[in-house]
């Protein structure tokens, strides 16, 4: 699952880290304290807690455990 979080076109991009917590994939930004986006894998519901700079494009991807080294991840 690859996710780009829309923002204004300031050119700044930060790579988010992802982890799974129950049914949620939680994206956090190591450069923006407080930024968090959660996506429920069952319902598709999203919840976002913005970071300090609303003009940064946050990007990240989530790979389920066990699929890290498979060829199926390459597009």
pLDDT tens, position by position, 8-61: 556 788 999 999 999 999 999 999 988 999 999 999 999 999 887 888 888 898
In this prediction, residue 74 carries a pLDDT of 39
The count of other CB atoms within 10 Å of the CB of residue 21 is: 8
Give the residue extent of every domain in the chain: 2-64
pTM of the model: 0.72
In this prediction, residue 64 carries a pLDDT of 81
In whole angstroms, how far apart are CA 35 and each of 4, 19, 73?
14, 14, 26
Residues 5 and 59: beta-carbon distance below 8 Å: yes
Residue 73 has pLDDT above 50, yes or no: no
Run of H or E residues at 21? strand 17-21
Angle at 59 between CA 34 and CA 31, to 5 degrees: 40
């Amino acid at each position: 699952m690859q996710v780009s979080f829309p923002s204004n076109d300031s050119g700044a991009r930060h790579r988010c880290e992802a982890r799974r917590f129950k049914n949620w994939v939680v994206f956090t930004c190591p450069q923006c304290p407080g930024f968090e986006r959660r996506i429920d894998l069952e319902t598709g519901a999203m919840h976002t807690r913005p970071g300090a700079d609303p003009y940064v494009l946050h990007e990240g991807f989530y790979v389920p455990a066990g699929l890290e080294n498979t060829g199926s991840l390459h597009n």
